[in-house]
Amino acid sequence: MLPMRTLGAAAVALTTALSMPALAADEPIKLPKLNIDAKQTTTSGVSSGAYMATQMHIAYSDVVAGAALVAGGPWGCADNVPGAVPGQVALQRCMKTTAGKPDLGQLIANAQSREKSKQIDSLDNLKKARVYLFNGAKDSVVTTPVVEAAFQFYSALKVPADNIKFINQFPDAEHAFVTDNFGAACSYLGGDYLNNCKYDQAGELLKHLYPDVKTPNAPEAKAQPVKFSQKEFIGDQSRSGMLEYGYLYVPEACASGQACRLHIAFHGCEMSAEKIGNAFPVNAGYNRWADVNNIVVLYPQIKHSAKPTSNPNGCWDWFAYTGYDYNLKSGFQPTAIRKMIAAIAK
C-alpha cells in the first residue's frame, strides 16, 4: 500500500494534469504512481494488438491475470515452424492458413521450453486465468482457424473452460475492433479499424476479465484520455519501434487514491496515434466502463515511422522485427510494458 502522503501528491498532480487541456493535448505527462494492485492487471488488443495482449499474458503471467484477443491468434504463432523465418510463418499460418494451421503440439512444446528456461513465467498461472476471444465471420485478415488455435492453446494449458469466452464467427464482422455505436459499417475493412457492429466489445471483454464489473449508465466517458510519455520505458526507438507517447485514462476515483485495477489496451496495425490520432483510446469504448469500475486504462503506442523499416504498418511485434525474443520477458516491447506496469502500480 502506498503512503497516503504519496497517494495524495500523485492525485493532486494527476488531477491538475487532467484539468489542463493544453497539457493533455500537447505535453505528455509522466505516468503517475496510483493505488493499483499490479497482479490484477489484464490486457486486450485487436489484430497485432491481440498478439501483444497474449504475449504479455504468457510472458508475465505472474502479474497479468487475463487477456482478451480480438482477431488474433495464439502466443508464439510466428515461431510455429522451427527454423523458418517468423515473418513468413506469420503471413502463411497466423493470418491466413495457406501453409497450414498453427501446430498446437509445437505451440505447447515451445511454451513449455520457454517456461523451463525461465524466459516466461510459470504456465501454472494460467489455471486461474481468464481469456476472451473474438472472431468475426467476415474477417478477411485473420481467419477462423487462427483464432480457434488460440482457444485450443489456452485450453491445452489448463485455463478452465468456464474462464474462456469464445465469440466465434460474429455475424458480419470484418477485421476490426467492434463497438456498439461508433465507426464504419460492421463489414468494412480499413479506415480506423473501429467498426459499428452494435456490440459493446470493450464492455463485454471487461465483464469477462473482471466478472464483478458494473454496467455504466452514461453513454460516454466523463473525460478524455491524456498523453503520457513512453520515453523512459522504450529505450532506442530503432530497436523497440515504440512512439514517444501513449495514452492514459484515469477515472476520478483512481486519481483521488482509491484502490483500482489496470487494463492495458493494445491498438492494431494502422491504428497507432501517428495514423489515427486518439481515435482508439477515445472511441473503442473502454473508458466509460473504467469510470464506474475503478479501472485505469493504459493505451501504449507503436511508432509507424520508427526504424526498423520492417514494420511499415505500425504493428506490435508478433513476428520478430525487434528480435527473436519478441514474445519473451526479455523482448523490447514486453519489457517496456512491464516497466509501465511497475511505474503506475504497487
Locate the domains of the chain by residue range.
4-255+266-344
- The whole-number average pLDDT for the span 1-28 is 46
- The whole-number average pLDDT for the span 36-55 is 98
The pLDDT score that the predictor gives to residue 25 is 52
Tell me which of 309 and 127 has the higher pLDDT: 127
Marked catalytic residue, from 79, 121, 139, 291: 139
Task: Let me know if 47 is a catalytic residue.
Answer: yes
Marked catalytic residue, from 44, 48, 121, 175: 175
- The whole-number average pLDDT for the span 229-236 is 95
- State the chain's mean pLDDT as an integer: 92
Residue 1 has pLDDT above 50, yes or no: no
Marked catalytic residue, from 47, 48, 240, 272: 47
Task: Let me know if 175 is a catalytic residue.
Answer: yes
Query: 297 CB contacts (<8 Å, ≥6 apart)?
Result: 225, 248, 249, 262, 263, 264, 265, 281, 286, 287, 290
| Separation of alpha carbons 21 and 4, rounded Å | 27
| Separation of alpha carbons 109 and 115, rounded Å | 10
The pLDDT score that the predictor gives to residue 17 is 46
Task: Let me know if 122 is a catalytic residue.
Answer: no
pLDDT 10s digits, 186-203: 999 999 999 999 999 999
